[in-house]
Amino acid sequence: MSDNYAMEQEEIHSKVMRAGRRTYFFDVRSTKAGDYYLTITESKKFTNDDGSFHYKKHKIYLYKEDFHEFKDNLDEMIQFVIDKKGEEVISERHQKDYKREEAPEKNLDTANEAGETLDKPAETNFTDVDFDDI
């Protein structure tokens, strides 16, 4: 495939949607036969420990024969989420007063009878040793 064909393929029609650390690219491209299809790319920025960064990308190729069913399913899933949870964003990242619902604590006796172990935070799951006694 020539560079010219690849360049023309990129220029048919594009739209960008920025969403925090994620960017979504909606690109109309052309098949070798001259028909159009859609690519949806999610690009997410990650910062390395040294301050440099890299992107991870995920791409969906959507062809015309699947447009209607894809759109119907997407609309249905979006409506389901809105019906069940509303449009308000509820998350630690978007709300400063967000409090995560914690699962009810298990009783130690009940857990031991059932053969279960309780996962406790690391800071409480240790034996205190005083090295001055050695």
Query: Would you state the pLDDT for residue 92?
Result: 64
Q: Which residues pair with 25 in a beta bridge?
A: 16, 41
In tens digits, the chain (134 residues) has pLDDT values of 555 555 445 569 999 999 988 999 999 999 989 999 999 999 998 888 898 888 899 999 999 999 999 999 999 999 999 999 999 888 766 556 656 666 555 555 545 555 554 444 444 444 554 555 44
Distance CA 35, CA 28 (A): 10
Q: Which domains does the chain have, with CATH numbers?
A: 3-64 (3.10.450.700)
Query: Would you state the pLDDT for residue 22?
Result: 92
Backbone angles phi, psi at 77, to 5 degrees: -70, -40
